[in-house]
Amino acid sequence: QSVLTQPPSVSGAPGQRVTISCTGSSSNIGAGYDVHWYQQLPGTAPKPLIYDETNRPSGVPDRFSGSRSGTSASLAITGLQAEDEAEYYCQSYDSSLSAWVFGGGTKLTVL
Amino acid sequence: EVQVVESGGGLIQPGGSLRLSCAVSGFTVSSTYMSWVRQAPGKGLECVSLIYTGGTTYYTVSVRGRFTISRDNSKNTLDLQMNSLRAEDTAVYYCASYSSYFDSWGQGTLVTVSS
């Protein structure tokens, strides 16, 4: 059971917009700790996608965006492409656990 | 160019020990937080251990007292000494630098604990 809750799977057709939610609590996202997102393509290492809620590392397309509200955060992907099919993880810090925590991951399927 | 390369994984019997190493280029391990993140087969990510620039260390509860993180500034490497290994430690272990997030990752090294 992950501290940060993500839907196990989402799907969308090419060109569509999808969102992935990350629900936390008052000891992590709700406490103001930054939320980060990682993309893991099959058989590869995770790669940073969004950091500090809304920032994209160099090379990440602006089709990817992040937001937060209260104890939750969201990753939005617009103009869905086949190459976006991957596992997506949110990550933050939890003050109750004094630990860096990840969501359980969401598998994105491009139909 | 930043490169992070792990080594040392393999098959080990329960109760055994293994030492993972992470060779870094493009930055120095002493200048940033460094971490080990693992992923059990078919499962999500877990931050196992992290070392601050000042040397303070963090361990997830399940490995405290069994794992030790260390760095060698002269070799620019990060190590993870793993003792008393259990079946549930089976995972791909990633070395990653940490600024405000896990920014540079290696390709991972597989540790399998099985008899």
Instruction: Give residue-wise pLDDT tens across range B3-45.
Output: 999 999 999 999 999 999 999 999 999 999 999 999 999 999 9
Nearest by CB to residue A104, choosing from B44, B47, B94, is B44
pLDDT at A57: 95
Contacts for B26-29 with beta carbons within 8 Å, 24 or more apart? B26/B1, B26/B2, B26/B104, B27/B2, B27/B97, B27/B104, B28/B73, B28/B76, B29/B71, B29/B72, B29/B73, B29/B76, B29/B77, B29/B78
Long-range contacts of B64-70 (CB under 8 A, 24+ apart): B69/B34, B69/B36
Structure tokens that stand for B29 in this block:
């391990």
The distance of A66 to chain B (nearest Cα, Å) reads 15
DSSP B14: T
| pLDDT, average across residues B64-73 | 97
Q: What pLDDT is stored for residue B115 in this prediction?
A: 95
Helix ranges restricted to H, B1-115: none
- CA–CA distance, B31 with A35 (Å, rounded to integer): 23
How many H-runs (helices) and E-runs (strands) does chain A carry? 0, 9
Is some CB atom of chain B closer than 8 A to the CB atom of A32?
A: no
What mean pLDDT is reported for chain B? 97
**Closest CA–CA distance from residue A13 to any residue of chain B (Å):** 25
Angle at the Cα of A56 (from B93 to A25), degrees rounded to 5?
70
Residues 6+ apart with CB under 8 A from B8: B18, B19, B20, B21, B109
At B104, the pLDDT band (50, 70, 90 cuts) reads very high
Residues of chain A with pLDDT under 70: none
Test A36 with B46 for CB contact under 8 angstroms. Answer: no
Residue B35: its chain A contacts at CB < 8 A? 100
Q: Name the closest residue on chain B to residue A105, using Cα atoms.
A: B44
Which of B35, B44, B107 comes nearest A105 by C-beta?
A: B44
Say if the Cβ atoms of A38 and B100 lie within 8 Å: no
Predicted local distance difference test score (pLDDT) of residue A67: 96
Among partner residues A45, A101, A103, which is closest to B108 by beta-carbon distance? A45
